[in-house]
Structure 1
Amino acid sequence: MKRDLFMTLRVAIVGYGKMGRIRHEAMERHGGFEVVVACDTSQDPDANVAMVTDPLAVYDFNPDIIVCSVPNMMIPDVVCTALERGKHVFSEKPPGRSSGDVRRMIVAERAAKDRVLKFGFNHRVHDAIEEAKKLIDAGTMGELYFMRGVYGKAGGPGYAQNWRNDPAQSGGGILIDQGIHMLDLFQMFAGRFEDVQSYVQRNFWTDVPVEDNAFALMKNADGIVASVHSSATQWQHTFRLELYLRNGFVSVDGILSASGSYGTEVLTVALNRLDTSGNPIPNPESQELRFTEDKSWDKEITEFYDAVVKHEPLRCGTSQQALDVMELVERIYSADPEWHRILQDQTTLSDQAV
């Protein structure tokens, strides 16, 4: 539904695949955007928008906004060019292939001064996650002790040939592609994690040069511990986030997604009951809240619009959050000595090829 907005922003979408179209649809629902051009190597004659194949050609349409929905290795160039040309930018995650890519974009962001740069970490604004954050922030459940996260899927058809599994293009495998969302949520709830231990493995797709499983145990400066398992061999697609606090627990099972393969989002909350000695009684009664509509895409676009037009600060998807999570991804890769050696060998071979 169109809203009574006082400014319509002209948009160019660079990368008009699945995510580019999702962003286009969300902007149409918002009503404060006009998508004037899209860029992609494959042209869609049925696309309801002007199409070009050269990313620089989108600037001929005088956009206010660049939406960046390209593979990881292209993100820094697209983002930095847009900022240098005075455009606001909404970019997909991962934010490039490395923390160095993010630092490069931060330099361009600072030089652009009043331009907005937002990265699409939409899991932060899923309804179940937002409700969990409100409960914990209210303080009644006490201090946070530890978190567990599992985010996994089956690799699927064409997995080995997908660009996401070419480290030169993606920067890594299932951890940087999917597990990064769970790591971002960990840092949303508990801040930065510096102490990291990990096991990074290739179990099934042994001929693919990236990991298909990553296990990590991490601790922050306050002693909060988090464990994550990011997997491409989770044959039953799974999202589960558990947060255990002094007075109970909060968990989110399932996450609404474009594929619909992770099921309904279910928020479970339980408060401890104490016996006469003040000790918690096992298996406290829990309450469930189910969510059936994914509003995350619309929430992200609304926040982006308000940041551009109303100059409101970003809460989610800031460049600093992007840098923090990319540094954590790198610490997980590096914490496994064997995987660290494999990455070094791959980098050497890549440099020799150049």
Structure 2
Amino acid sequence: MNLKVGIIGYGVMGKTRHQAIDELKCGKVIAVSEPNNQPEINGLPNVDHDGIIKHPDIDIVFVCTPNFLNKDLTIRSLNAGKHVFCEKPPAFTEADVAEIREAEVKSGKKLMYGFNHRHHDSVIRMKELIDSGEYGKVLWLRGRYGKSVTADYFNQWRAKKELAGGGILMDQGIHMLDLFLYLSGDYDVVKAEVSNLYWHMDVEDNAFVILKDTKTGKVASLHSTMTQWRHLFSLEIFLEKGYMVLNGLITSTMSYGEETLSIARNRSTAPAATWKDEVTTKYTNNNSWRYEVDHFFDAVTKDQPVVIGTSDDAQKLMRIIDEVYKQKDF
């Protein structure tokens, strides 16, 4: 099937998705939409958003735009009979996602969200082990995801609530929350402290989130911050019979360090725990972009459900984010 693709938003993410499509040879990008007044970009016609959505030959629309556009462009593309891949966040609220899901059902088309961290090889390995039951049930999770931003951040759309929908939680912490749900299931209690103590913007620079599942008792904690002063990614999962610790994440800049997964059995009896018991794997390649796009195109070409990054996943995630933002005090 020779699927034709249009990309709305041809910045870093649009180009990243284009590269993955080309590498997989799963489709052909025939037009892009980027508001820079250039008639062509990389030899492709640069049209307005409607030019992509209403293009008679385009089967799939990739939405790679600033957050405030995601909901509207996704619904319009679905209503136009296009399959849609949209970057995170899906929208600003759970109610927004409910509207999107109505359009999805009516269209009968595929919709997938770009929660890219699920597709890293390290996370895939963690998911396999958790689902196997080899280490028992998940007891608790702890995630830290932080970075430092520069003063010009004030001039970016991400610093404006009306354009971004939120601050560091919506920008970066959303990925960690998504991993919590993906690796350990849903949570029904949300407690949070959200602040903007340093940057003093109308969006948060820190979010401390505690989640609890009252059915199982499992708890997850997240610290999402833009006052880390160094980039950091750390995800710890402790289970009945062992643990998994993922430190670092492969990115284009490698600013989060090497992606290293450490796994060990629990050691609750003497002698005391020693580091030599851990099995450590370092991941040197970032295959996530290809895996993610491949999963979406498989769903389209084989007419099978999207399994990873569904609109249901998105709605559960935004339900938690809604509850977090209800608890902010600024």
CA deviation after TM superposition for structure 1 residue 181, in Å: 0.3
Q: Deviations over 1:146-182 (max 9, x none)?
A: 0000000111352111111211111110001100000
Q: Deviations over 1:15-71 (max 9, x none)?
A: 111100000000000102110000010145773242334211123352000000111
Contiguous gaps of at least 5 residues in structure 2 = none
Name the structure 2 match of 1:4.
none
Cα distance between partner residues in 2 of 1:39 and 1:273: 55
Q: Does 1:282 align with 2:273?
A: yes
The farther-off stretch of 148-157 and 8-17 is 148-157
Determine which of 322, 340, 348 is the counterpart of 2:314.
Answer: 322
Q: Does 1:218 align with 2:216?
A: no
Q: Deviations over 1:97-133 (max 9, x none)?
A: 22222111111001102x1000000101100111111
- Go from structure 1 to structure 2 and tell me whether the alpha carbon gap of 1:18 and 1:44 turns closer, same or farther (over 3 Å shift): farther
The farther-off stretch of 116-125 and 259-268 is 259-268
Contiguous gaps of at least 5 residues in structure 1 = 1-6, 343-354
Name the structure 2 match of 1:234.
228
Cα distance between partner residues in 1 of 2:268 and 2:199: 48
CA deviation after TM superposition for structure 1 residue 135, in Å: 1.4
Identity of aligned residues (%): 38
Q: Does 1:332 align with 2:324?
A: yes
Cα distance between partner residues in 2 of 1:315 and 1:43: 38
Aligned residues: 327
* Two-structure CA RMSD over aligned residues (Å): 1.6
CA deviation after TM superposition for structure 1 residue 303, in Å: 0.4
Q: Is the 8 A contact 2:39 2:46 kept in 1?
A: no
- Go from structure 1 to structure 2 and tell me whether the alpha carbon gap of 1:215 and 1:273 turns closer, same or farther (over 3 Å shift): closer
CA deviation after TM superposition for structure 1 residue 260, in Å: 2.1
Q: Does 1:19 align with 2:19?
A: no
Cα distance between partner residues in 2 of 1:249 and 1:63: 46
**Equivalent residue runs for 1:31-70 within 5 Å:** 31-43=25-37, 47-58=41-52, 59-60=54-55, 62-70=57-65
For residue 312 of structure 1, what is the amino acid of its counterpart?
Q
**Equivalent residue runs for 1:145-224 within 5 Å:** 145-206=139-200, 208-220=201-213, 221-224=215-218
Q: Is the 8 A contact 1:102 1:322 kept in 2?
A: yes
Determine which of 87, 92, 100 is the counterpart of 1:97.
Answer: 92
Q: Is the 8 A contact 2:66 2:163 kept in 1?
A: yes
CA deviation after TM superposition for structure 1 residue 283, in Å: 3.8
Cα distance between partner residues in 2 of 1:258 and 1:328: 29
Q: Deviations over 1:58-89 (max 9, x none)?
A: 23352000000111111111111111111100
SS of the aligned residue for 1:78 comes to helix
Cα distance between partner residues in 2 of 1:141 and 1:174: 32
The farther-off stretch of 174-183 and 49-58 is 49-58
SS of the aligned residue for 1:60 comes to coil
Name the structure 1 match of 2:303.
311
Q: Is the 8 A contact 1:119 1:317 kept in 2?
A: yes
Cα distance between partner residues in 2 of 1:335 and 1:195: 13
Q: Does 1:109 align with 2:100?
A: no
Q: Is the 8 A contact 2:140 2:218 kept in 1?
A: yes
CA deviation after TM superposition for structure 1 residue 280, in Å: 8.0
SS of the aligned residue for 1:303 comes to helix
For residue 90 of structure 1, what is the amino acid of its counterpart?
F
For residue 20 of structure 1, what is the amino acid of its counterpart?
G
Q: Is the 8 A contact 1:272 1:281 kept in 2?
A: no
